[in-house]
A and B are shown apart, each in its own frame.
Chain A
Amino acid sequence: MTSTPPSPPHRTGTSSSSSSSNPTQYSQANASAQAPPPKPPAPAVSILPGQLARVYSFAHPVLLLALLAVRFGKFVEDPVGELLGDLPVLAGLQMLYAVLCLPPAGAPSSKAGGGEASSSGEGTVLRPGRVGLRRKHAKEVGISVKVVPALIALTLTTLLATPILSILLVLFGAPLTTHNLETILCAAHMAVLSATALVYVHGVDGSTWREVWGVARPADAVWGGALGTGVGAWFGAVPIPLDWDCPWQAYPITILTGAYIGYAVGSLISRSSWLFGKRIQFTPEVEEDMDKKAE
Chain B
Amino acid sequence: MAVLPRNWAIWLANLLIPVAILVFSSGFFPYKPLLPGLATFEETNGTSRPPAIFDKVIFMVVDALRSDFVFSSNSGFAFAQSLIRSGAALPFTAHASSPTVTMPRLKAITTGSVPSFLDVILNIAESDTSSTLAYQDTWLAQLKARDDKLVMYGDDTWLKLFPGMFDRADGTTSFFVSDFTEVDNNVTRHIPKELQHSDWSALIMHYLGLDHIGHKAGPKSPYMMSKQQEMDSIVSQVYSAIEQEEHLQSTLFVLCGDHGMNDAGNHGGSSAGETSAALLFVSPKFKARGVQKESPVEATNELQYYRTIEQTDITPTLAGLLGLPIPLNSLGVFIPEFLVMWDHGFERVHILMENAKQLLRTIKATFPSYTFESSAIRSTCESGLPTDMEEAQCAWSQVHELLHESNTDEIPSSIQAALLRFLRISQNVMSSTAGNYDLQRLYLGIFAAGVAALLSFPATYRLLARSHYSGSFLLFSIFGYSAMMFASSYVEEEQQFWYWIFTGWIFYLHIKSNGYQGKRVTSDHKLKGGRQLLSLFSAAGTIGLGITYRILRRWNQTGQKFAAEPDIARAFFSAHQDTLWFLVILTYANTYKHLLISSPSSLVWRLVSLFATIAAFIFKLTFVASDSPELLGESFLGPLANTVSHVSLVLQARIVFCGVALMVLYAMVTRSGTLRVSDKHKGKS
Contacts and interface: CB of A to CB of B under 8 A. Distances in A.
B519 A210 contact: yes
User: Size class of B's contact patch?
Assistant: 35 or more
A122 interface: no
A41 interface: yes
Contacts of A35: 523
B546 to A, nearest CB: 5
Interface in B501-523: 503-504, 508, 511-512, 514-523
Contact of A242 (B487, B503, B554): B487
Contacts of B466: 285, 288, 292
Contacts of B554: 176
A40 interface: yes
B299 interface: no
A9 interface: no
A207 B518 CA distance: 12
Contacts of A37: 520-523
A284 B504 contact: no
A283 B508 CA distance: 12
Residue from B470, B488, B521 whose CB has the most chain A CB atoms within 10 Å? B521
B511 A214 contact: yes
Given A27-B531, A171-B503, A241-B489, A281 B517 contact: yes
Contact of B515 (A28, A171, A244): A28
A252 B419 CA distance: 53
Contacts of B518: 28, 31-32, 284
A172 B515 contact: no
Nearest to A249: B561
Contacts of B468: 282-283, 285, 288
A63 interface: no
Interface string B514-555: 111111111110010001001100100000001100100110
Contacts of B500: 173, 234, 237-238
Given A35-B523, A214-B511, A242-B489, 16 more contacts: A3-B521, A24-B534, A24-B535, A27-B524, A28-B518, A28-B531, A32-B522, A37-B522, A41-B520, A171-B503, A173-B553, A176-B550, A234-B504, A241-B562, A243-B489, A283-B468
A40 B492 CA distance: 50
B670 interface: no
Given A36-B521, A216-B516, A27 B527 contact: yes
A234 B492 CA distance: 21
12 contacts: A3-B521, A28-B515, A31-B523, A31-B527, A37-B520, A38-B523, A172-B503, A173-B500, A241-B490, A241-B496, A243-B560, A281-B517
Interface residues of A, number: 43
Contacts of A36: 521, 523
A3 B516 CA distance: 14
Interface string B453-475: 00000000000001111100000
A273 interface: no
A219 B521 CA distance: 18
A2 to B, nearest CB: 10
B493 interface: yes
A34 interface: yes
A211 interface: yes
Chain A: interface secondary structure? loop
Contacts of A285: 466-468, 470
A171 B544 CA distance: 10
A274 interface: no
A35 B522 CA distance: 8
Contact of A171 (B488, B492, B535, B550): B550
A171 B493 contact: no
* 7 A-B pairs with least C-beta separation: A214-B516, A243-B489, A241-B493, A241-B496, A210-B516, A28-B518, A214-B517
B499 interface: yes
Nearest to A172: B503
A101 B508 CA distance: 32
Interface string A193-227: 00000000000000100110111100000000000
A100 B124 CA distance: 69
Nearest to A38: B523
Contacts of A23: 534
Contacts of A31: 518, 521-524, 527
A210 B516 CA distance: 6
B315 to A, nearest CB: 31
A292 B275 CA distance: 57
B325 to A, nearest CB: 42
Nearest to B496: A241
B559 interface: yes
A27 B518 CA distance: 10
A30 interface: yes
A141 interface: no
Contacts of A125: none
B524 A30 contact: yes
A34 B488 contact: no
Nearest to A29: B518
A173 B520 contact: no
A170 interface: yes
Contacts of A211: 516, 520
A219 to B, nearest CB: 15
Contacts of B516: 210-211, 213-214, 216
Interface string B551-591: 00110000111100010000000000000000000000000
Contacts of B515: 24, 28, 214
Interface in A109-130: none
Contact of A214 (B504, B519, B534): B519
A280 to B, nearest CB: 9
Contact of A234 (B490, B503, B547): B503
A48 B97 CA distance: 65
A241 B512 contact: no
Contact of A282 (B488, B517, B550): B517
A2 B63 CA distance: 64
Residue from B489, B518, B524, B527 whose CB has the most chain A CB atoms within 10 Å? B518
Interface in B247-301: none
Interface string A28-57: 101110111110110000000000000000
A237 B489 CA distance: 14
Contact of B546 (A171, A176, A240): A171
B276 to A, nearest CB: 16
Contacts of A41: 520
Interface in A240-295: 240-244, 281-285, 288, 292
A213 B510 CA distance: 10
Nearest to B465: A288
A30 B508 CA distance: 22
Contacts of A32: 518, 521-522
A288 B471 CA distance: 13
Nearest to B527: A27
Contacts of B489: 241-244
B520 A40 contact: yes
B514 to A, nearest CB: 6
A238 B466 CA distance: 29
Contacts of A214: 511, 514-517, 519
Nearest to B554: A176
Given A241-B493, A241-B559, A292-B466, A34 B531 contact: no
B681 to A, nearest CB: 31
A243 B561 contact: yes
Contacts of B566: 177
Contacts of B535: 24
B495 to A, nearest CB: 9
Interface string B330-351: 0000000000000000000000
Contacts of B527: 27, 31
A63 to B, nearest CB: 30
A3 B518 CA distance: 10
Contacts of B519: 207, 210, 214
B561 A241 contact: yes
B523 A216 contact: no
Nearest to A33: B521
